[in-house]
Structure 1
């Protein structure tokens, strides 16, 4: 029996759009104890198990596809790298780089062994493949009590009974038991080795959560990991981008970091300003939250990652997303400094040199990029999370498939608005000025849009770009084919967009949000030309990691 794998040419093109960077290394381990170092191989194994969970979550045929590619003789390194980076057979712009998996039987008949959809299923692998959106909504509406809670849970999948056709919920602890049980055991072992007690508490409680399916306490314990811990670990179900149908189900991800104490000390001062920034948002008081918990802010250097970590590489994250632990202990912002440095040097600077006015390129700085990423993550905590006229209904529930892109746009623009506030009151004195922030932001817009407008960050950035251009904050020179920031208009344009997005979220009017997305979530001809030029010149879209941690978890 022979196997025919139809790997198509887009894969070479997709891989060429990413530049490898070395991630992790012994230089980050100076503060680790012998116990911390002994725990690292165990935690890397957890990361690999969580990677297997996400492969299952991404698409119902994904496990079979990965297994098939690994079984090829000889091995196809390019296909393996593609699946490693994208976690499935679709790259940027959801372009499929594996057409199908076919095999020939002993009689010479060729049939499809694994059918690969044209694009990633909107429902991921959290719902039956044949489910319809209205069917799910009708089913949820028919439930009461705990059954309804489970049906709308971050941590349950939806199944269909083979005999009756009825939908029912299954907890993650059962659906992914084959990976979560060994991951729980490994985390328990690591908890006995690490030197910091607060980190040990998290590892133990998260190990318990993998079995119980109750993540609130372990999320709280994660938020309470001491800033003195030399190791930082994030492990569990968090982001809901894979559930494009409802933005509900959480995907598993894993990060192992070494704490960057010097940078963390500098950035921690921003957390105390959270409520002050909320109070100064340019919206009616109805749209402002009170009693916000300042997020813990830590800077780290990545050692290893797994799970929902497909390229583009995450440079920062603000977690958890579950409102329950946020109400108890706030949120935590993790800034991944070595990844950010790789992105800036390998991607952002080459983009800026090509698309920006020659004089404005000189103002593009790493610190402006670094600090805006920080403010982007802080800004996820700002603005309305529940509707202003229905305090029991979440914004994400009301906006459904539009929530992720609107939330990313909100975090970007509110973060930029907040930067302006902190510059004016002197909090950010001594660093980049307003022009550097705006011009670096403009260059970074092209970096995000290149991910494609089918992706939440790319669509969110496209909406911002077109709105700010319409307001006169950005301008395009037809002769030089370059873009520039219009300094006497950009501040008011940023303020206007901040107000617009916060009101759209707080009102929760899905039709108005849809109209906003359709109007501004586009790529204009001049932007498309600039993007094509970047492609022609071979400017990378993003970076991908080559971990220095060996297969046995040592460095």
Structure 2
């Protein structure tokens, strides 16, 4: 430490502030007279260097315990900003070049001063001081206080607290009302007349298992998410504002708004209160330390799959020291990564048995079957009961194999069973999509979709699955990158009855699974289309968007048939193009592994744009009507504006912005002086093909720098997009739908 400050080396440190929300006071410590920097001055509640090998968060916890005798769990610490402090003191003998992670701990009431155990070599006293008074002293550069520039970076401490606690009930309520109104409530009540009595009984258990899946997803989003959810739900009737908080939280399933680039619509001031009776030494008559469970203003990129303070560099360095088997587990769909200190507080550290990989002293790999053991055992029991009730062999097989997968962490057999499902009840349940993992796109979130199969619609879309091999052979892609193992993709159409888990915010209209590259290579994929969701979105969103943004002479081309047909083709095109790839030097890999966080947005863009190319290809083969040749492009243009409203942090929105800007720059999309758009039919076909080639070539090469460059340059909110979005906003067109599961609710009530 002394050498760092002698030589002026840049280094990292932590600042921990304790703030009492009932009094508006910050806790200050009086630095010991023996300190080599700013002795005898009032300073941060607690601070210290981050030692080599330690994480920022563990350092913050350690310093607070060492200096003040306060032991707090990780959810008490909110990282609010990072700032660089550069100064020279003590006649040039002490240089402080320090990157400081600034944490805030929020308590409800002041901690009694006698509860602190002070480290005499560091701290001589503590006291509380109102934030405004302290800010004024710093601004006046009082010699009693360690100096911080309140007009510079450190002013964030005060502005964050002031914004959080000012009386703005009316404005917050209006904002939340506006945010909620972006979702049109839609009642989903599909008929169950095609179901046998056995399947109806099974359906009740399947719905209950789906509710368990919801619990797991809440836990996957963020480490204190379930606590926040329970707190908001319990207090929803306290006021109209609390009711709105709960309503919007329920849509997003987290405190971050899906439609606002994951911006937080709540703060730690809205969070759950926890009581600790042993955080300090015991004080007679004091019940203990009450604090707000903190959450970051920025949504954690790694969700709850990795330690909150782990970054990509640390993960990659740790991974490089693992065996091949351990590396596969670390980057697999169905594991979480934890630190030893986190594991020791849970039930998963029982032994180094076959279901847990103990790799080093730094990080651990824990399979989902252990991490979510209690919930998965409950879901397993319900699925087995459902299997016993059902009289459909393929449904019984799916439910049994999925139950086994929940306990074994091996989903291969159950994914095959899902692809072979031939049942009036359509069920997708388990961990699938990786959008929530913003660090690497490695980890899968749990979800459930339960619906009733539409046999007529299913027969109508069979054409697309049958044509996949021919589409692969003719892709706008160099032949060396094309696959010889594309299988026909079964397509099932259902009307959604209930969904849960990773179904927050904008609702999906279709999905293409599984994502397991082994199965994709061996058998391809299967698709499920949610027809009643597509119909609701077209009626409530796409038609109004077209009325606002499409030129009158092309508005007639916006129709449900081309809109829905492109959705089908989009899902089919997830199954073609590069997946498993060979890198220069002969190394085998996958697109997902190489493109990491760029993968999801680029894959969605690929499926969209290649879907358009595929429709044109099938029209030219005479397999689809010529009437689609114009309507598919105009309907797609209107759909661009719909998806971009999901936000550029979301994979579909980002991918759609990339496509729009590419086609606009190629002259295929035209913005007219009246602020409305049209298609140049002479340019759109070539523009679509060129973008398809660009994306698939990047995927085939596993070229992450090229993927980053393409997204950074094209996946942006350009002026033409702003024009369209302002028109749509002015007309108050809903952004998406919020399903209300009437039939499912009745079934659950009867069970």
**Alignment TM class, shorter chain as reference:** over 0.9
- 1:195 deviates by 2.1
**Shift, 1:12, TM fit:** 2.0
Report the counterpart of residue 649 of structure 2 in structure 1: 454
Q: Which residue of 1 aligns with 2:209?
A: 46
Aligned mates of 1:73, 1:373 — CA distance in 2: 38
Which residue is 2:604 aligned to?
408
**Which residue is equivalent to 2:741?**
547
Distance 1:347 1:43 in 2: 31
SS in 2 for 1:149: helix
Question: Given the alignment of the two structures, is residue 166 of structure 1 paired with residue 327 of structure 2, yes or no?
Answer: no
Which of residues 342, 348, 358 is equivalent to 2:552? 358
Aligned mate of 2:379, from 176, 179, 183:
183
Q: CA deviation at 1:55?
A: 0.3
Who is 1:274 aligned against?
468
* Pair 1:16-2:181 in alignment: yes
Aligned match for 2:320, one of 135, 141, 151: 141
Partner of 1:338: 532
Out of 226, 250, 258, the residue aligned to residue 84 of structure 1 is 250
Contact 2:517–2:580, Cα closer than 8 Å, also in 1: no
Aligned Cα root-mean-square deviation (Å): 2.2
Deviation at 1:294, TM superposition (A): 1.2
Q: How many positions carry a matched residue from both structures?
A: 549
Alignment gaps of 5+ in structure 2: 1-20, 23-106, 109-163, 276-284, 345-359
Contact 1:286 1:388 in 2 (8 A): no
Tell me the CA shift for residue 152 of structure 1. Answer: 1.5
1:323 is aligned, of 517, 520, 532, to 517
Q: Deviations over 1:125-165 (max 9, x none)?
A: 00000101111111111111432222121101001011885
> Residues 171, 439 of structure 1: CA spacing in aligned structure 2 closer, same or farther, 3 A cutoff?
same
Cα distance, 1:112 vs structure 2: 5.0
Say whether the 8 Å CA contact 1:223–1:329 is kept in structure 2: no
**1:85-126: per-residue Cα shift (whole Å, max 9, x none)?**
111111112121112235599989997512221222100100
CA–CA distance in 2 between the matches of 1:218 and 1:306?
Answer: 19
CA shift for structure 1 position 510: 1.3
The alignment partner of 1:192 has SS state of: helix
**Residues 109 and 435 from structure 1, CA distance in 2 versus in 1: closer, same or farther, beyond 3 angstroms?**
farther
- The answer (yes or no) to whether the contact 1:301–1:339 under 8 Å persists in 2 is yes
**C-alpha distance in 2 between matches for 1:345 and 1:108:** 57
> CA offsets, 1:200-240, max 9 Å, x none?
001001001111111101111111112xx111100000000
8 Å contact kept, 2:527–2:572: yes
Gaps of 5+ in 1: none
Q: Give 1:70's aligned residue.
A: 233
User: Contact between 1:223 and 1:330, CA under 8 Å: does it hold in 2?
Assistant: no
| In 1: Cα distance, 2:439 partner to 2:177 partner | 30
Contact map agreement 1:150 1:156 (CA 8 A) in 2: yes
Q: 1:396: Cα distance to partner? A: 1.1
Is the 8 Å Cα contact of residues 475 and 483 (structure 1) preserved in structure 2?
A: yes
**1:316–1:334: 8 Å Cα contact kept in structure 2?**
yes
Determine the C-alpha separation between the residues in 1 that align with 2:251 and 2:525.
Answer: 28
Match of residue 154, structure 1, among 306, 324, 333: 333
* Pair 1:128-2:323 in alignment: no
User: Segments of 4+ in structure 1 off by > 6 A?
Assistant: 1-7, 104-111
Higher RCO (C-alpha 8 Å, min separation 6):
1
- Contact residue 446 and residue 501 of structure 2 kept, 8 A: yes
| Contact 1:18–1:540 (CA under 8 A) maintained in structure 2 | yes
Offset at 1:503? 0.7
Measured at CA, do residues 272 and 118 of structure 1 come closer, stay the same or move farther in structure 2, by a change above 3 Å? same
8 Å CA contact 2:512, 2:528 repeated in 1: yes
2:670 to 462, 469, 475: 475
Partner of 2:351: none
- 1:467 & 1:184 partners in 2: Cα distance? 47
The separation in 2 between residues aligned to 1:482 and 1:196, in whole angstroms, is: 52
Residue matched to 1:36: 199
Deviation at 1:11, TM superposition (A): 2.5
Q: TM-score, normalised by structure 1?
A: 0.95
Q: CA–CA distance in 1 between the matches of 2:455 and 2:653?
A: 32
**Cross-structure match for 1:99:** 267
SS of corresponding position for 2:677:
strand
Asked if 1:497 is matched to 2:691, the reply is yes
Bigger drift between 108-117 and 373-382 goes to 108-117
Do the aligned partners of 1:40 and 1:553 also contact (CA within 8 Å) in 2? no
Q: Which structure has the highest helix share of the two? A: 1
